[in-house]
Amino acid sequence: MDNIIKYLSAKGKYLLTAVLLGSTLAMSAAGGREVKGRVVDPEGNPIPGAVVNLAEQSRIVLTDQDGNFVLKDAGYDDEVNAKCIGFLTNIVTIEDLDTPLVITLEPDNDAYAHLRQVAFAEKPSKFMTESTSMVTGQELQRYPVTVLQNAFNSLLTGVQTYEASSEPGWSETAMYIRGVRTLNSAARSPLVIVDNVERDISFLDAFPIDNVTVLKDAAATALYGMRGANGVILVTTKRGDAGKTNIEFTQEIGFQTLTGKVENQNSYNIALTRNQVRYLDGREPLYTAEQIEKYRRVSNGETLDGMDRYRYFNTNWFDVLYRETAPVVKTNLQISGGNNRARYYVSFSYLRQEGMWNSEGTKFNDRFTTQHTLNRWNLRSNLDINVNKYLRVGLDLGGRIDNILQPTTRVFDLTTFGAVEADPMRPVYCPNGELYVDGSASNPIYQLGSSGQERNRRRQLYSTLNVNGDLSPITKGLSTNLVISFDAFDVFQSTQTNGVDAYSYDFTNMAVTDVKDFTYTQTRKYQELTNPSANERANSWTINLRYGFRYDRTFGKHHIDANAFVRTYQQRLNVREANTDNGMYSSDRYLSWNGAATYIFDNRYVINGSISRMGNDNFTPDNRWDTFWGVGAAWV
C-alpha cells in the first residue's frame, strides 16, 4: 500500500510539473512580447495618426508625432497592419522581436490610378478608353429600395429602369442601357456579370456590393459577343482585406406607400351621367332630383339619417382595397478580415416586405392571413487563400431563400374588379354586418378574405471557384486563370383555398321603411381552408467555365497588357404548369474564344482592342458563329 502511494505521489509530481509547464507556455504564447516600430512615407518622414494593429485583431494603436508606435502581445510571424488616410495600406511580418519595425506607406494621391472594372479585367482610370459609368455599393446602400436596380436611374448615366410590378417577391424591373435597342421585348435586357460570372442581378442586395460598372460601347462589350448587344452591367462584390476584423451591423425600418391611386367617378357624378345618357336616349331619368341631392351629400362626406344611410353610398373601393403604408425591414451583418495568407468576407441579409392590401381584408379570417409578404434571407461568403507565392485560390459561396405568402386572387382581379370597375353606389357591408357582394360589387374585402393562401419558396444557390497561377518563373508578367461556377435555382408552390359568407340586400326598395325588413340574399358561401397542394413551378442549373492566360509587363516606356481565354456557358431550365404534368424545357449554350490587348506608351498614349468568336446552338448551323470586335484609343 505504501509503495502504491509513493508511486502515485511521484506520478502526481510529474503531472503537476507538466501542467505548470504547459500553462507557462500557453501564457507565454498568449502574452507575447512588446514590439516597437515606426511608420514613415517613402522619403522617411514620420506619419502621425496612422492606425496600426496586428492582423485579424481589433486592438489598435495610433502613431505619435514622430510616427512611433508600440504593440503588445506580439509574436514571431505576426503581421502588422498600418494604414492612414491619403496612403496605401501596408502589412509587414515580424521577423525579429528585438529590432524595431519600419513600415513605409506609399501615398495615395492619384485618383486616376485607381482601378476600374472592364471586361474580365481591370485597369487604371486614366487609361480607360471604354465608355463606362460606375457607382459604389456604399452609395447604393443610401437608397431605400427593395430591388437593387431601381436605384440605378439616379446613379448611373445612360441607364434607365422601369418597374412593371411591385409585388413583394415578384417585382419586375426592366433595365435599358442607352435606350431600347430592339423591338424584340425578350431580347432588350443588358447582360449582367457578377464577379466575372453571368448571373441574375435580382439575387443581390446593396450590402455585399463593392461597385457596379456599366459598359456601354463596342470597345467595352466586344468580349461578350452577342451577349453584350444591349450593354453589360458588371457587379463586383466585396472581398476581405488583410488587417483587423471588421464587423458591421445595419438595421433599417421603413414604410412604403402608393405613388397614386386611380380616381373614379363618385356616386353623384355617376347618377348625373346615367340620367344624361337616358335623356339622350329619349328615356325617363333613372334618379329623381331628391335622389341626386342625396348622392351629392353623401359624396361630399355627409352621413345621412334614417333609412337613407342604408340606401345611398359613395364607396371608394381603392380605400377599401389598400392601406396607407406597408412596413419594410432590412437587417444586414458583415464580417471581414484576414491576413496576407487568407482573407474572408461574409454578408448575411434579411428583408421583410409587406404588401399594400388593407388589413381589414387580409385579417378577415382569425386563423390565417392573406397579406402579401416577402421574407428573404441572403448569405454570401468570399474566401481568398494564397496557397503559395505562385498560386491563389478564391471560393465564393452564397444563396438566397425567398418565402412569399400571397393571396391566390390575382392582383389584376383585385384591382380591376375590386376597385376600378366596382360600383361606388354599393356598400361594403350589409346592415346586418355581413359582407356585401353582388354582380356590380366584387368587394375587395371579400376577395382577400376568401382568397386562401399561396406560398412560394424560391431557392437560389451559387458557387464559384477562382484559381490564379503566377507563371513568372516561365516568363515575367505571365499568369493563368481558371474560373468554374455552378448555380442552381428552384421554386416550389403550395396553394390553399377557402370561402366566406357574403350577402346582398334590396337597398333600392323604397317600400322598406325599417332596416329589419330588408331582404337578404346569400351570394357566397363559407368554405374551410383546404389542405395545401404542392407543385414545383420551375428549376434550373447553370454552369460557367473560363480558362486563359494574361501577360502584363512594362518595358521602359512601353506597357503591354494582353489576355486570351475560352469561355463556355450552359443553362438548363425546366418550367411546369401549376398542378399539371405539362412542362417547358429549354437549354441555352454558347462557346467563345476571346482575346484582348492594351498597349500604353510613356503613360500617355493608349490603344486597345478586343475580339470574340462566339457560337450559340440556338441558331442554325450556318448562322451559329460570328465575330465581334472593338478598338479604342486615348491620349492622357
- DSSP characters over 265-298: --HHHHHHHHHHHHHHTT---SS-HHHHHHHHHH
Q: φ and ψ at 597, to 5 degrees? A: -150, 145
DSSP per-residue letters across 61-89: EE--TTSEEEEEEE-TTPEEEEE-TTB--
Least-confidence region, from 202-206, 224-228, 584-588, 631-635:
584-588
Does 69 lie in the same domain as 16?
no
Q: Could you tell me which of 84, 102, 100, 106 has the C-alpha nearest to residue 92?
A: 102
Task: Assess whether pLDDT exceeds 80 at residue 21.
Answer: no
| Confidence (pLDDT) at 576 | 67
pLDDT band at 582 (very low <50, low <70, confident <90, very high): low
Does 99 lie in the same domain as 38?
yes
* Domain-located, residue 525: no
pLDDT band at 24 (very low <50, low <70, confident <90, very high): very low
Mean pLDDT of all residues in 93-117: 85
pLDDT band at 14 (very low <50, low <70, confident <90, very high): very low
Does 48 lie in the same domain as 90?
yes
To the nearest whole percent, how much of the chain has pLDDT over 70?
A: 93
* Domain-located, residue 68: yes
Number of structural domains the chain divides into: 3
Tens of pLDDT, residues 34-83: 888 999 999 999 999 999 988 877 778 999 999 999 988 888 888 898 98
Tens of pLDDT, residues 425-441: 999 999 999 999 998 87
Tens of pLDDT, residues 236-249: 999 998 888 899 99
Boundary residue ending a domain (45, 75, 109): 109
* Domain-located, residue 99: yes
* Domain-located, residue 372: no
**Helical segments of 285-420, H only:** 289-299, 317-321, 359-362, 411-415
Task: Assess whether pLDDT exceeds 50 at residue 263.
Answer: yes
Does 93 lie in the same domain as 42?
yes
* Domain-located, residue 174: no
pLDDT band at 9 (very low <50, low <70, confident <90, very high): very low
| Whole-number average pLDDT of the chain | 89
How far is the C-alpha of 207 from the C-alpha of 193, rounded, in Å? 17
Mean pLDDT of all residues in 180-188: 79
* Domain-located, residue 369: no
* Domain-located, residue 66: yes
| Confidence (pLDDT) at 5 | 40
Boundary residue ending a domain (109, 125, 140): 109
Task: Assess whether pLDDT exceeds 60 at residue 445.
Answer: yes
| Confidence (pLDDT) at 94 | 87
| Confidence (pLDDT) at 10 | 43
Q: 75: domain CATH number?
A: 2.60.40.1120
Task: Assess whether pLDDT exceeds 80 at residue 305.
Answer: yes
Does 306 lie in the same domain as 272?
yes
Sign of the CA dihedral 88, 92, 97, 100? negative
Boundary residue ending a domain (76, 94, 109): 109
> From start to end of 316-366, where are the E strands?
326-338, 342-354
* Domain-located, residue 38: yes
Does 99 lie in the same domain as 68?
yes
Domain span at residue 10 reads: 1-28
pTM above 0.85, yes or no: no
Task: Assess whether pLDDT exceeds 50 at residue 151.
Answer: yes
Q: What is the DSSP letter of 621?
A: G
